[in-house]
């Protein structure tokens, strides 16, 4: 017997499951003190929050600076207060419950406080600190096959970074975190000194996972990119977009991606519509200024971007069109969980808005397929996929 459908019953839209190309773990406050000699632990990045929770002081190897902590947007529809954290922010088991409720499946997971190690200048301290971060992150990843944690690399020494690529690959990492710029004392990423690191990434298959906004803390001040006064907050946010585009262009134009066709670069939290734009600009430079171009590449810069570079976006309403209208298939969604500016509490609403009217194949690629191409070992999302 078939039960007739009640035409007056409210229809609940099915959950849109999505993998996230931009998530974070929050390190326990005592991580370095528990696992390093006190004299070293004291020099690792540490956050001391003001009692009212509005500002924090970051201490990094004898330097300190203040920053205003992000709050949940005034327009947030999650019903959470401006400072409420996701319940699973510090606990990987509780985290899975948060993810199930939000419809987030597998995640590429960056560190949080440890990203400030890009401001360290002592290679020995960095090498030891990075091992602590990675050992702990692997314990976190072991909780669920849905977690894809990024390995930290000690970039103050290229041989140390190569050794840590090999060590973390053996441990089971599938991606390595990169800041958008190397430490200021090191050559830029287009320089040949980095070649052994690119070779090690390709050989191990670790994805080069770049998160925007990860310049050394004084880099913006030095480069004149730090804004104060009218518009400052939005201008500073907007400036963080360019680091991801710059490193993608460096990896392409230097020939690194040409020499290492197995090397793949993910740019997280920087939007995605920039991809086709950057492809055009690089091709024009390569073609119209060809007498000055070196090295020559085996294909146009755009072809490397469209095949070996990936990007994750969070809210950008134009990012779906980077794929549907501009043909860049390597676009991936990201939640930024559990950061307070992410989609926690309204992920389904965000996804429904982004893909309203979008082709189902486009939605499937951006929410699921792109991530699975980078990390085919993760379990499949629940529910029905495209035939």
Q: Which residue ranges make up the site for Mn ion (CB under 5 A)?
A: 22, 269, 336
Q: Smaller CB distance to Mn ion: residue 88 or 301?
A: 88
Q: Smaller CB distance to Mn ion: residue 268 or 330?
A: 268
Q: State in angstroms the smallest separation of the CB of 366 from Mn ion.
A: 17
**Strand, helix or coil at 171?**
helix
Q: State in angstroms the smallest separation of the CB of 311 from Mn ion.
A: 12
CA R_g for the chain: 21
Q: Smaller CB distance to Mn ion: residue 47 or 307?
A: 47
Q: State in angstroms the smallest separation of the CB of 50 from Mn ion.
A: 23
How crowded is the C-beta side of 59, counted as CA atoms within 13 Å? 11
Q: State in angstroms the smallest separation of the CB of 111 from Mn ion.
A: 10
CA angle 86, 212, 356 (to 5 degrees): 65
- Of 215, 200, 331, which Cα lies nearest the Cα of 256? 200
**Strand, helix or coil at 159?**
helix
Q: Which residues contact 91 (CB under 8 A, 6 or more apart)?
A: none
Sheet with strand 207-211: strands edge to edge: 18-24, 104-110, 147-151, 175-178, 207-211, 265-268, 309-313, 331-333
Q: State in angstroms the smallest separation of the CB of 22 from Mn ion.
A: 4
**CA gap 373, 370 in Å, rounded:** 5
- Tell me the backbone φ, ψ of residue 338, rounded to 5 degrees: -95, 25
**CA gap 269, 319 in Å, rounded:** 11
Q: Smaller CB distance to Mn ion: residue 258 or 269?
A: 269
How many CB atoms sit inside 10 A of residue 207's CB? 20
Q: State in angstroms the smallest separation of the CB of 7 from Mn ion.
A: 44
User: In b/e form, how buried is each residue of 84-120, taking b as 16+ CB within 10 angstroms?
Assistant: bebebbeebeebbebbebbbbbbbbbbbbbbbbbbbb
Q: Smaller CB distance to Mn ion: residue 22 or 316?
A: 22
Q: Smaller CB distance to Mn ion: residue 210 or 282?
A: 210
Q: Smaller CB distance to Mn ion: residue 164 or 269?
A: 269
Q: State in angstroms the smallest separation of the CB of 344 from Mn ion.
A: 12
Q: Smaller CB distance to Mn ion: residue 22 or 27?
A: 22
Q: State in angstroms the smallest separation of the CB of 211 from Mn ion.
A: 6
Q: State in angstroms the smallest separation of the CB of 20 from Mn ion.
A: 9
**Helices (H), ranges, the chain:** 31-35, 38-41, 92-102, 123-141, 158-171, 195-204, 219-222, 232-253, 256-259, 274-288, 301-308, 319-324, 347-354, 360-364, 370-374
Q: Smaller CB distance to Mn ion: residue 100 or 341?
A: 341
């Amino acid at each position: 017997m078939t039960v007739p459908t009640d035409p007056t019953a409210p229809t609940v839209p099915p959950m849109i499951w999505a993998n996230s190309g931009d998530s974070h773990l929050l390190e326990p406050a005592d991580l370095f003190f528990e696992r390093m000699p006190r004299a070293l632990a004291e020099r690792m990045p540490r956050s001391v929050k003001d009692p009212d929770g509005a500002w924090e002081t970051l201490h990094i190897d004898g330097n300190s600076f203040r920053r205003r902590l992000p709050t949940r947007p005034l327009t947030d529809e999650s019903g959470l207060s401006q400072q409420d954290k996701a319940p699973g922010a510090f606990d990987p088991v509780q985290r899975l419950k948060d993810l199930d409720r939000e419809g987030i499946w597998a995640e590429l997971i960056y560190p949080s406080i440890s990203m400030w190690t890009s401001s360290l200048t002592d290679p020995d301290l960095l090498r030891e600190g990075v091992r602590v971060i990675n050992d702990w992150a692997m314990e976190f990843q072991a909780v669920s096959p849905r977690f894809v944690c990024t390995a930290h690399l000690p970039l103050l020494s290229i041989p140390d970074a190569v050794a840590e690529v090999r060590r973390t690959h053996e441990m089971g990492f599938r991606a390595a975190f990169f800041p958008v710029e190397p430490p200021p004392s090191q050559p830029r990423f287009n320089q040949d000194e980095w070649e052994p690191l690119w070779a090690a990434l390709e050989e191990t298959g670790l994805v080069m996972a770049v998160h925007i906004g990860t310049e050394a803390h004084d880099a913006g001040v030095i480069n004149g990119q730090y804004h104060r006064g009218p518009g400052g907050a939005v201008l500073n946010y907007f400036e963080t977009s360019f680091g991801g585009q710059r490193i993608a262009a460096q990896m392409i134009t230097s020939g690194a991606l040409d020499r290492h066709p197995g090397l793949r670069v993910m740019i997280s939290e920087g939007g995605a519509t920039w991809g086709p734009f950057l492809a055009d600009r690089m091709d024009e430079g390569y073609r119209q200024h060809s007498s000055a171009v070196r090295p020559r590449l085996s294909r146009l810069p755009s072809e490397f971007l469209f095949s070996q570079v990936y990007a994750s976006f969070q809210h950008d309403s134009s990012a779906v069109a980077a794929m549907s209208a501009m043909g860049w298939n390597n676009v991936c969604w990201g939640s930024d969980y559990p950061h307070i500016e992410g989609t926690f509490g309204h992920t389904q609403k965000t996804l429904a808005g982004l893909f309203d009217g979008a082709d189902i194949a486009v939605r499937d690629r951006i929410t699921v397929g792109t991530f699975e191409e980078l990390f085919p070992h993760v379990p499949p999302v629940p529910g029905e996929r495209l035939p």
